[in-house]
Amino acid sequence: MTADTLAGWSAANRRRAEAMLAAYPDRRSAVMPLLYLAAMEHGHITEDAMREVAALTGMTPAQVQSVASFYTMYKRDGVGRYLISVCTSISCFLLGSDALLAAVEEETGTAGGESSDDGLFSVEHVECIGACGGAPALQVNYELVEGVAPDKGAALCRWLRDAGPEIVLSDEMQQLFGGRRSFDWAIREHEGAVAPVPAFAPYGSSGEEGA
């Protein structure tokens, strides 16, 4: 079934799908990783993506949609190359998250959760991302930057536009645009995000610096 269902998928992603289905005691449990994988394959969670994931997991397309629509990180509309998620929950709010969000929206020409006309940026405000000791914080393609002043947030957006990094690296952005962190990150991490999907090897969404 997998081969027919995923005829349009890359060979690497077909292998990843097989591995996900084999990894759980029940194939339905693979729906969440498969949705991330489908987002990598299609750019976001399309109708086709949900039908494919349904066929793989033995769910109906409606069941897959009910799952996809429950979780905020499954984007059913197109997202820009760089998804910027600004935390506006209580600790970040107390330390100026709203000014950071405004600066990021202004720099990218977005407002209210939209994408920029050039397709480069999507900006969203999100609930707590567990970076409260390094507030205010944001993520680019779910890679974290802490202690981001509004002007640094705008500068980060300009850098993304100008440098256009293929791999979004948390440590690199932190060094260039971040400030106070929740705790010592200690060592530089060389793995980062290649798409607006959490960078995790099983999803094919991560890349390694210099690799």
Partner 1 sequence: MASGFPPILTGRMTEAPGDSHTIARYEATGGYTTLRTALSGMTPEQVTEQVKASNLQGRGGAAFPTGVKWGFLAPATPRFLVVNADESEPGTFKDRQLLERDPHQLIEGTVLSAYALAVHHAFVYVRGEYPKPARRLQRAIDEAYAAGFLGSDILGSGFDLDLMVHLGAGAYICGEETALLNSLEGKRGEPRIKPPFPAVEGLYSRPTIVNNVETISNVPWIVANGGRAYASIGDPASAGTRLFSLSGHVKNPGNYEIPMDLTWRELIYDIGGGIPEGRELKCWIPGGASAPWFVPAEHLDTRVTKDDVAENGSMLGSGAVVVMDDTTNVVAAAHRIVRFFAHESCGQCTPCREGTTWLERMLWRILQGHGRPQDLDMLMDVSDNISPGLTWPPAMTTICPLGPSAVSPITSIMKYFRDEVEEMLAAGVTT
Nearer Cβ to partner 1, position 4 or 70? Answer: 70
d(CA 105, CA 108) in angstroms, rounded, equals 5
Residue 169: CB minimum distance to partner 1, A: 10
Q: What is the Cα–Cα distance from 58 to 104, expressed in whole angstroms?
A: 42
CB of 78 to partner 1, least distance (A): 18
Cross-strand pairs, 168: 193
What distance, in Å, lies between the first and last C-alpha atoms of the chain? Answer: 34
Contact 97, 87 (CB under 8 A): yes
Strands, E assignment, 98-204: 121-126, 138-140, 143-145, 191-193
Q: Which residues bind partner 1 (CB under 8 A)?
A: 23-26, 28-33, 35-36, 57, 59, 66-67, 70-74, 85, 88-91, 93-95, 126-135, 139, 142-144, 170, 180, 182-187, 189, 191, 193, 198-201, 206
Smallest distance from partner 1 to CB 42, Å? 16
Q: What is the largest CA-CA distance in the chain?
A: 52
Which pair of tokens denotes residue 97? 């998250």
For the bound state, the minimum distance from the C-beta of residue 148 to partner 1, rounded and expressed in Å, comes to 15
33: left (phi over 0), alpha (psi -120 to 50) or beta: alpha
CB of 58 to partner 1, least distance (A): 10
CA distance 134 to 83: 20
Nearer Cβ to partner 1, position 74 or 82? 74
- Residue 76: both structure tokens together: 């059913």
Question: Which residue number, 132 or 156, has a Cβ lying nearer to partner 1?
Answer: 132
The smaller minimum CB distance to partner 1, of residues 118 and 127, is found at: 127
CB of 84 to partner 1, least distance (A): 13
